[in-house]
Chains A and B, each alone.
Chain A
Amino acid sequence: MEDKYSKMPFIVCPVCSGTGEKKLGLKCPACGGMGVGSFLDGKFLYWGLSLGKAVINLRHFKKSVDLVINSIAYAISLAGLAALAFWVWSSSAGGPVGAGAGDYLELFSFWRVKHWLILVFWISALSDMFIIYRLSQEEARKEKIKKFRAVGEKGLVKLPDNWEELKKFSGKIDVSRAASPEEMKVVEEAFLLAAKSGHNELLPLHLFFSLLRDKEIISLFVRLDVDGGKLITRIKSQLLKESASSEGKNDLKISEEVKEILIEAYAQAYNLGQKKVKALNLILSCLRHDKNLAEILYDLEVDEDKIKNIIEWFRVNERLLDNYRGYKKAARFKPAGTMDRAYTAVATPVLNHFSHDLTRAAKWGRLGICVGRDKEIEDIFGAFTSGRTGVILVGPLGAGKRTMAEGLAQLMVEEDVPKFLRDKRLLELDVARLVSGATAAVAQERLLVIIDEIRKAGNIVLFIENIENIVGITGGGEESLELSEVLAEALNRRALFCLTAATVENYSKYIEGKALGDILVKVKIDEPAGNQAIIMAESKVSLMEGKYGVYFSYDAIGQAVSLSSRYIHDKYLPAKAIEILEATAVRVGRRAASDPTASLCTAEDVSVTVSEITGVPVNKITVSESKELLNLEEKIHEKMINQEEAVSVVSASLRRARAALREGKRPIANFLFLGPTGVGKTELAKTVSDIYFGSKDYMIRLDMSEYQLADSVKKMIGDVDGTRGYLTEAVRKKPFSLVLLDEFEKAHPDILNLFLSCFDDGRITDGQGRTIDFTNSIIIATSNAGSVFIQDEVAAGTDIEKIKEDLINKQLNKIMRPELINRFDGIVVFKPLTMDNVVSITKLMLNGIGEMLLAKGIGLRSEEEGVVKLAGAGYDPKFGARPLRRLLQDKIENEIANKILTGELVRRDTVVINKEAKIEIEKGRQL
């Protein structure tokens, strides 16, 4: 795809520096007026049309003259027909009443009659012919870009390398002749704009500005979700910066850059197989030749890649439309019934009962389109033509196996298939119908009859989706064949052609290595990635747009693909992206019903859908949110006292994760929190979960002291017999979560090993063999190990870095393996709390109580001395701030509760914590 849009090397005339003009508008003698050009497949491309107001006016004038001439010709032809009709009427009316049939027959020999009306008719016949001629000439003008053979194919030819030779070179192409009316209009308008602004040269900027009025370009920017007004204002201000010419206005030339743009547009159209150069082809080159333009668009979040992808999208749509037209034509010839065209087939009543006719559905246009799977389709054909009778499509759920079968049905309708598939029907066997309500023996009988019918009819290809469903159905005792073996046997005898499909797991579980697996050729249907998935989604989008009355921006599709591949792991592309797009379309469609201007599905809308499905805040980082992340430390400190180092390590790591500056295959972050009890380790984890995931509910908490035995691994990750693991199940359901592993060091060493791979690859395989994804989790392990050491060292005033180092080297390595320690993104040492910290914490907790009271209309005020007193009573150097909560419960909350129950404390009252840390009540005003 890249080279279709590639840049070209240009040859510029040194005399006129590319403009092709000398003074007074004469052609530059050195280059013959070409100015600049480039080679494409051995042809020399140049822009030969010199523009001028006069030339533009002439073209417009000619257009109107053409219209007049055509109208006159049409009028003459109509007059001729009318004259003939009038003559017939008048001569038959003038004839004898009740004239015989012979008299009417005479009217047919009108050419032998001399009459002025007939003369008019014959003159009009000439003008009819002239109209046919003009219409066909117009049609011929529409196809301008001819494919030429590359030089290499003709053998080496020496291409001219100087202007003298180039002037005589026969392989020149004037790209202006291939311009579509739209492109011409853009160029002319750009020229008039430059002339009006009094500029010296026609610049890319002028071209781009007039491009913005083109219909296709407008829809391009709609797809890009670009604010049109903003864009126009910025281009305008750029235009104003161009200095107006001081010389006469007649001196306006086409600049070298614009000529290069026009030539590149031709090359692009040529490479894309277009018949004309459209305005759309100009835009990419415009950006390349004017860096300012590229910058302006970049500011509006538009870059070259996006534009390329949209051009591709338009092309896909166009191709779909073209295909559809051709398809409709071809489909007329496909028989709709069960017979082939030669009537050699046999009626297949049993098969018809147990199957759906895919070719017939395709003929009536009821199937979806299949794009981007040309290689796999070729593989299927290849397998069949090499003499195999069965093919199995193996790929994950939602990768498009069924769509491929449907695509094959459409190709069969067009008869665009190898010979052995022509004039055949593709029937889908309904396995559910085949086996339901029947014993295995009956089902087998049915299958045998069906195979027999197919063999006799000879015009049927069978498609079986989920082929594994017929495996294991056996009719009699142990030795009797099962259903799948019956089919395998028939395929072996070449009784039928069969296309089947299975998911990867089912293939390896039920098919591979069995009789059926040996006979079926495996064609892998891989999950499409990136651009391929985008193109597949694009092909479905136009249908949704029609259905829900919405419009998708390009970013929405890209976002659906990238977000679904990042956040949804139990489904596959393109199905999961299409699902998201559909859900978005439904929601936006509902919104658009009340407000028609809001019918554009943007990337944001898609993010909201993904967020709803996965429960994760994946909205694009908005300004307020990024501010929140930038001020993460402050936010955390609103809920946490002290531990500056811990908070800043965690914050930095989360910022990295949110800006997607992390390796994809690891958890968002792994931390080890070390420190004595009650200093805020769990509190920090809770706060992080609250801020990063939006709620404290996103925390999965495991007390590792419960996992001290060797068989606790089963408890954690589940068992083969179906027991679900506590950790794996929780993360599977909520991939976006903070996993808090309390007292990490107490777990059994086997469990610690489990986390070794989890920290590194971001996944754990659970007892049932499923891969559980941890790449969207934050894992925080806490430990009290070495807390006495920390307390002592902090008391001794040792530097915290030094404490950490000693802790890791002397204490931690006794309980954890060094490779595990190494895998934490950060080991954070929590300092013991000082008295000041505890006072702040007390205030924080009292604020919490105050908020609860406020909900009841009761105020809370506390004296500083009282708070200090409370803090002193609640602080225990051994347990940190933990006893404080109990103290506040006993002394404050219980008291207040009693007072509310006795009616002492009512609305509008204020609770005051006095200097003695006792409760007083200030009565509120009476109403």
Chain B
Amino acid sequence: MISNNIGLYGGKIVLDLLRDIIYFPAWWYGRGLKQVAIGLKNFLVNKERSLALFVWIKNIFRPMYAQYDWAGILISFFVRLFQIIVRGIFMLFWLALALLILGLWLVLPILAIYEIIFQLAL
């Protein structure tokens, strides 16, 4: 049976910690990156759902409030166009934010290491 030995515990724990530190960069650009990408995708999908942008685009030629006369169709078209533009701007903003976060995720480790070297270099 394993002997009751603090050295052995310590060894095991240090080993675990080492494994963590070595595995950590691989995780950052592998599984971690995948998780962040999936999270951002879900975020964008949810934002799209609450803005209903695609619903507006799909229905651009359908009159609003079931006004099937010419004037109704025409007014609807422009109102929808306006809505789509405004909602599109919002969506672009969220998209830019998502891309920014993804970019930061990719750059951050390199930047941090570069900066540390930069700061330490005399």
Contact = CB atoms under 8 A, between A and B. Distances in A.
B24 A24 contact: no
B43 to A, nearest CB: 13
B65 A345 contact: yes
A136 interface: yes
Contacts of A111: 111, 115
A520 interface: no
A55 B3 CA distance: 10
Nearest to B120: A119
A581 B17 CA distance: 55
Interface in A317-332: 332
Contacts of A123: 116
Contacts, number: 97
Contacts of A129: 24, 28, 108-109, 112
Interface in B1-18: 1-5, 8-9, 12-13, 16-17
Nearest to A139: B35
Given A62-B13, A119-B116, A341-B55, A134 B20 contact: yes
B64 A133 contact: no
B56 A122 contact: no
B65 A344 contact: yes
A51 to B, nearest CB: 10
Contact of B4 (A53, A115, A122): A53
A55 B8 CA distance: 11
A133 B28 contact: yes
A122 B115 contact: yes
A136 B30 CA distance: 13
A481 interface: no
B52 interface: yes
A691 interface: no
B49 interface: yes
A55 B4 CA distance: 9
Contacts of A55: 2
Contacts of B13: 61-62, 65
Contacts of A458: 66
Contact of A343 (B49, B64, B108): B64
B24 A130 contact: yes
A417 interface: no
A456 interface: yes
Contacts of B62: 342, 344
Nearest to B17: A69
Interface in B57-75: 58-59, 62-66
Contacts of A134: 20
A235 interface: no
A126 interface: yes
Contacts of A52: 1-2
B1 A25 contact: yes
A54 interface: yes
A346 interface: yes
Contacts of A133: 20, 24, 27-28, 32
A25 B118 CA distance: 55
Contacts of A250: 1
B45 to A, nearest CB: 11
Most central of B49, B58, B119 by chain A CB within 10 Å: B119
A332 B50 contact: yes
B20 A342 contact: no
Given A25-B1, A344-B59, A346-B66, A132 B32 contact: yes
Contacts of B115: 111, 118-119, 122
Contact of B66 (A25, A62, A344): A344
A51 B26 CA distance: 32
Interface string A810-832: 00000000000000000000000
Contacts of B16: 62
Contacts of A136: 27, 32, 35
B1 A333 contact: no
Contacts of A456: 66
B59 A342 contact: yes
A75 interface: no
Contacts of A150: none
Interface in A40-82: 52-55, 57-58, 61-62, 65, 69
A307 interface: no
Contacts of B63: 344
Given A61-B13, A129-B28, A129-B108, A344 B52 contact: no
A264 to B, nearest CB: 27
Nearest to B79: A343
Interface in A293-347: 332-333, 341-347
B116 A341 contact: no
Given A24-B1, A250-B1, A119 B112 contact: no
Nearest to A117: B119
A168 B5 CA distance: 33
A111 B119 CA distance: 9
Given A111-B115, A341-B55, A347 B2 contact: no
Contacts of A126: 109, 112-113, 116
A125 interface: yes
Contacts of B55: 341-342
A114 interface: yes
Contacts of A69: 17
A370 interface: no
A282 interface: no
B28 to A, nearest CB: 7
A250 B3 CA distance: 10
B9 A57 contact: yes
B58 to A, nearest CB: 7
Interface in B66-122: 66, 108-109, 111-113, 115-116, 118-120
A641 interface: no
A9 to B, nearest CB: 31
12 contacts: A25-B2, A53-B4, A54-B5, A57-B4, A58-B8, A115-B119, A122-B112, A133-B28, A333-B50, A342-B56, A345-B66, A457-B66
Given A54-B3, A345-B66, A346-B66, 7 more contacts: A25-B2, A52-B2, A61-B9, A65-B13, A69-B17, A346-B65, A458-B66
9 A-B pairs with the lowest CB-CB distances in the bound complex, closest first: A25-B1, A119-B119, A342-B59, A122-B115, A125-B112, A54-B2, A343-B64, A346-B66, A341-B52
Interface of A: 24-25, 52-55, 57-58, 61-62, 65, 69, 111, 114-116, 118-119, 122-123, 125-126, 129-130, 132-134, 136-137, 250, 332-333, 341-347, 456-458
